[in-house]
Amino acid sequence: MRTYNFIYAIFLPLIFIRSLYKSFKFSEKLSRNFERLSIYKGLKNSKSIILIHAVSVGEVLASRKFVEEIKKRFPNHQILITCTTQTGSATIKSLYGDSVFHQYLPFDLSFFIKRFLKIWDPELTFILETEIWPNFIDLLNKRNKKVFLVNARLSQKSFKGYKKIMPILGNVFSKLDFVVCQGTNDLRRFIELGIDKNKIKKDFSFKFDSLSPAKVKKELINKKRDTKVIICASTHNPEEKILIKAFEMLKNEKATLILVPRHPERASKILNEMTNSNLEISLFSQNKFQVDFTKRINLIDEIGYLEDLFSFADIAFIGGTLIPHGGQNFLEAVRYSLPISSGESFYNFQEIADDLIDMKILEVGNNAEQLKNIWQRQLMLVSEEIFKNTKDYLSQREGASLRTFEYLSL
């Protein structure tokens, strides 16, 4: 671990400056960065602590049922939820308020982690998805504290990265008490990185448990009338250019394209880049947060509306897949039984994407021409079969949040 700590210490000033920049960008108090240095001045009581680490928004939302089950099973304990991002922090506060303690997880340098553990001394620690913090796990292990990696996933890209630097990580994977992972490939990779095959189980993603029932708002359907709606969700730069080109090539006068950038603050830049387009564009915030079905393109520049937008869409494209990003969540579109398209970069959701391809719900295209052809086919589909397939698919995979507790020695 000495080499790891040495390298981390060298880059720490840059990491800290980046954290300050992020705080400034999200209008967060700069003083919150002291939490990353294990300087905590918030609430604390005498109850034993159960720590849950969820890096950002996706993990926080996916773990809701898991957290609620911990509350039920351990009523005499206090829950501490940590994260590393501003959006994750805001989501934790919104969901749980004062019912849990919350702070940022400190930088993974031995000095900071020791001070953090001295403050909190968690009895049990649950790490969600892919957050491998070598010092954090090592020091919990040395304190004989149980640490579990749950809802775990490990892409081929991450696997190769960990394998290259394993000599400086102090056999970190072998120090986990148990792992519950999302897929067969994840299981194989974790074992190859040092996890005892008797200390790992495969189940489905917590994301299947985080989906609320689909809500179709009739007033939105009525406004839509006979317009065909293509929603492009959680897009990244430069995907919007490719998607607009595909839409122009589609030449369907009854279709409307709804672009939902993953980061809505990019909307003004996207709008400037679209000035050369001959298509009429409506900016969501300027239209009183309503979709204008008389315009060919609607650009969404606010968060919190994606569920409503999915509810009246006809087909969906999932972003982060035309670039080497690994994709965004497919399941919101699946919940509304939509035919889906994407690029081929979906390694963050590999098994889910493979399932959807096998079920003929997802089609993959890597350029504007291919996406145009997919959209032409999908807009002609009859939805009854997709509706049945998606409902069966989702119902068969529910319950991982609760089943996880059956595998762990608590």
286: Cα separation from own chain's centroid:
28
* 319 domain residue, yes or no: yes
Q: What is the pLDDT, as a whole number, of residue 241?
A: 94
180 and 302 belong to one structural domain: no
* 408 domain residue, yes or no: no
Is residue 59 part of the annotated active site? The answer reads: yes
Of 59, 129, 131, 240, catalytic: 59
295 and 353 belong to one structural domain: yes
- CATH number of residue 38's parent domain: 3.40.50.11720
Digits of tens for pLDDT over the chain (410 positions)? 889 999 999 999 999 999 999 998 888 999 999 999 999 888 788 899 999 999 888 899 999 999 999 999 999 999 999 999 998 999 999 999 999 999 999 999 999 999 999 999 999 999 999 888 999 999 999 999 999 999 999 989 899 999 999 999 989 999 999 999 998 999 999 999 999 999 999 999 999 998 877 776 666 666 778 899 999 999 999 999 999 999 999 999 899 999 999 988 898 889 888 877 778 889 999 998 999 998 999 999 988 888 889 999 999 999 999 999 999 999 999 999 999 999 999 998 999 999 999 999 999 999 999 999 999 999 988 677 888 889 999 999 999 999 999 999 88
Amino acid making up residue 328: Q
178 and 309 belong to one structural domain: no
d(CA 120, CA 123): 9
* 210 domain residue, yes or no: no
138 and 282 belong to one structural domain: no
Instruction: Indicate the number of domains in the chain.
Output: 2
193 and 301 belong to one structural domain: no
* 239 domain residue, yes or no: yes
Given 139, 174, 202, the domain boundary residue is: 202
Instruction: Provide the CB-side half-sphere exposure for 143 (13 A, CA).
Output: 19
State the Cα torsion 272-273-275-277 to the nearest 10°.
Answer: -160
d(CA 378, CA 372): 10
195 and 223 belong to one structural domain: no
Compute CA distances 33 → 42, 245, 350, whole Å: 13, 42, 34
